[in-house]
Amino acid sequence: MEMLKSRRALTWITLDGSAISLLLAIAGFVLVNSPLVAVLALTAAIVLFSTFLYLSRSNEEAPATQVATVEVEAGLPVHPITGLYRWWVFRDRVMEEIARAERQKRSLALVLLEPGDLFGKPADEARLHAANILRRTVRNGDFFAQYDDDRFVVMLPEIDADGARTAANRLLSSLRAHEEPSLRWRAALVMYPKHGATPGELMDRAQIVLQPGRLASAVDDN
């Protein structure tokens, strides 16, 4: 913003300078009768006015650049390894679905999927492989994303508890059928509104469900 203000100020300075130089050129020809002064002043006027035109175009293009930056920031960022949407994109989608579920008096489910050993980071190839398995396994209408670098989260809209358990088991079974030996995938299933009224509350509950397995994994690794 400060740079843009400085550029605009410089634009008007060059315009004023070109006007003054033009007046000096006229004075050189008419009043002083000095062709050299007039030519130098006219040259300065041309250079300054050309600079003014360049800066004017730059100022007009600056807002477009700023809008483009905002559009990138307001877009849908994806994880660099798996290509899945980031958590905040998922969170906003869940909030919209919760509002719809509340109006229609329906439930929805979230499934948090994590590798069994969070202390040893999975390789990039393993994370991408798991993401591709989810792409092939989720139902039409489900929405899934990257919760953090190692974990995935899936939203199952308009589903009851029994259907959610079946879908969660299918996701987990697919991951385990193709998993790396060290990953040992596990899952936590939480339901709206039973386990929480917001995405944050639901995810907190899911992590509590998975906590004993993480502690057991830490003890086993030690």
Q: What is the pLDDT of residues 39-52, one digit of tens each?
A: 565 576 566 566 65
**pLDDT exceeds 90 at position 209:** yes
β-strand partners of 153:
112, 145
Domain assignment of residue 178, given as a range:
87-221
**pLDDT exceeds 60 at position 80:** yes
Q: Are residues 54 and 148 in the same domain?
A: no
Is 151 part of a structural domain of the chain? yes
Question: In the structure encoding, which two tokens stand for residue 73, read together?
Answer: 């920031």
**pLDDT exceeds 60 at position 89:** yes
Q: Are residues 143 and 214 in the same domain?
A: yes
> Residue 35: is it exposed, middle or buried by C-beta count within 10 angstroms (0-12/13-18/19+)?
exposed
CA 135-81-91 angle, 5° bins: 65
Q: Are residues 99 and 12 in the same domain?
A: no
* Rounded CA separation 18/30 (Å): 18
Q: How many domains does the chain have?
A: 2
Better-predicted residue by pLDDT, 27 or 204:
204
Helix or strand run (H / E) with residue 14: helix 2-30
Q: What is the pLDDT of residue 122?
A: 81
Q: What is the pLDDT of residue 6?
A: 55
Q: Which residue has the tokens 């039973």?
A: 194
Is 82 part of a structural domain of the chain? no
Question: Quick check: 150 and 122 in contact, CB under 8 A?
Answer: yes
Q: Are residues 198 and 97 in the same domain?
A: yes
- Segment 134-161 mean pLDDT: 95
* Rounded CA separation 111/144 (Å): 9
What's the half-sphere exposure (Cβ side, CA atoms, 13 Å) at 170? 14
Question: In the structure encoding, which two tokens stand for residue 54, read together?
Answer: 């360049």
Nearest to 109 by CA among 44, 11, 211, 199: 199
